A = this chain, B = another copy of it.
Amino acid sequence: MPNTLVLFTLLLLWFSPVSAAPIAIVIHGGAGTILKQNMTPEIESAYRQALTESVQQGYAVLKQGGTSREAVIAAIRFMEDSPLFNAGKGAVLTHEGRVEMDASIMEGKDLNAGAVASTTRTRNPIALADAILEHSPHVMLVGSGAEEFAKQQKLAQEDNSYFQTDRRRKALERAIARERGAVLSEDADDPVELVKDKKGTVGAVALDNAGNIAAGTSTGGMTNKRYGRVGDSPIIGAGTYADNSACGISATGHGEYFIRAVVAYDICARVKYQNLSLQAAADAVVQERLVDMGADGGIVGLDPAGNVIYSFNSAGMYRASVNTNGDLHVGIYKQD
């Protein structure tokens, strides 16, 4: 009898659509004026390696049967923990010289979402957004109230200095000097300091073997930001959206424009209401609408079949994906 049960289970696994269901993941680490001539081979290689590790960590979750939400969190945590990206450790500094971070996550199966703005102590803001999705009746928490919730949820807390790096401090000093009228050569700017373009963000979108899409985004915002400024990353519909019937999107760009154009949801709406492919919908928003508004940046996304797409109107976008065939792609420049 136990043998029959084992046989039955094996047969069930064999014929289960789960094993054949497509899985895929796509990530970004920010978009902006990323030009090969400004790069050193060492920096470029460091980014390519970090993007590869991030997307592979997310893909491993999917491969092991994990959910798209878990995969998105794994990929984003990696980039938050890396000082290379403007999220978590290595986030840019506010005018006052500290770090204030925003993040959001959304599930396409039921449109559940969690978002946090202006968190200053939670080690992984994406984990806090996820805890809000899972353990709070609310979608969005901000500031000290969000920190209190994070502590109750026993999420790892850090002193604000943990997030701060010399590279970002130098960028802040230069931004403040420019603001005060100093004329500084761009040659001396950090070659990969996207944040002068206001576009440093990380994000991920995944499709799991249950057919569920999840999307997430995390950021430190803009260098030298003031007054509790919040960009598009924690705004559901602007920086992040997921809907199993149409799309998953994570955006990175000049947040103010992305909020006004409701970028992530507008792409999904064009898929739903105009029957466009996700690539065509994304290009219409990123290459036309945003360009008309004078806004640059980009998005990564995938559709319910697991087709991975990128669209950006800036010189480059840090990005990587593993598609439904298991093929890895890593890119920085347009031609990548």
| Chain A, interface residues (CB within 8 Å), range | 35 or more
Known contacts A235-B237, A293-B111; A228/B269 CB under 8 A: no
CB <8 Å contact, A262 and B236: yes
Q: Contact mask A35-75 → B, CB, 8 Å, 1/0?
A: 00000000000000000000000000000000000000000
As for how many copies of this chain the complex holds, the number is: 2
Chain B, Cβ-Cβ closest to A96 = B145
Q: Given A236-B238, A237-B237, A293-B111 in contact, is the A229-B145 Cβ separation under 8 Å?
A: yes
A266 interface hit (Cβ, 8 Å): yes
Q: How far is the CA of A136 from the CA of B228 in the complex (A)?
A: 12
Bound Cα distance A97, B108 (Å): 36
**CB < 8 Å: which of B106, B139, B149, B270 contacts A273?**
B270
Interface residues of A in 60-103 (CB under 8 A from B): none
Contact assessment for B111 and A227 in the assembled complex, using a CB-CB cutoff below 8 Å? no
12 extra A-B contacts, CB within 8 A, seeds A145-B229, A149-B227: A112-B260, A118-B143, A138-B230, A140-B229, A141-B228, A141-B229, A145-B227, A146-B228, A236-B259, A262-B262, A265-B265, A265-B269
- Tell me if A109 is interfacial: C-beta within 8 Å of chain B: no
List, in ascending order, chain B residues with CB within 8 A of A143's CB: 118, 142-144, 228
Cβ contacts under 8 Å, A145 to chain B: 118, 226-229
B136 touching A227, Cβ below 8 Å: yes
Chain B residues closer than 8 Å to A262, beta-carbon distance = 236-237, 241, 262, 265
Known: A138-B227, A142-B228. Is A260-B236 also a contact (CB below 8 A)? yes
For residue A256, CB closer than 8 A to chain B, the reply is: yes
Cα A260 to Cα B236 with chains together (Å): 7
Residue contact B229 to A138, C-beta cutoff 8 Å: yes
Task: Report B-chain residues with C-beta under 8 Å of the C-beta of A265.
Answer: 237, 262, 265-266, 269
Q: Which 8 interchain pairs have the tightest Cβ spacing?
A: A145-B228, A273-B273, A145-B227, A269-B269, A237-B262, A149-B227, A143-B143, A142-B228
A270-B274 Cα distance, complex, nearest whole Å = 10
One digit per residue, 1 when the CB lies within 8 angstroms of any chain B CB and 0 when it does not, for chain A 237-271 equals 11001000000000000011001111001100110
A332 at the interface (CB under 8 A from B): no
Closest-CB distance, A114 to chain B (whole angstroms): 10
- Indicate whether A181 reaches chain B with its CB closer than 8 angstroms: no
Once the chains are docked, how many angstroms separate the CA of A181 from the CA of B239?
39
Give the residues in chain B near A261, CB-CB below 8 Å.
Answer: 111
Query: What is the bound-complex CA distance between A262 and B242, given in angstroms?
Result: 12
Q: Which of A115-140 contact B (CB under 8 A)?
A: 117-118, 136-140
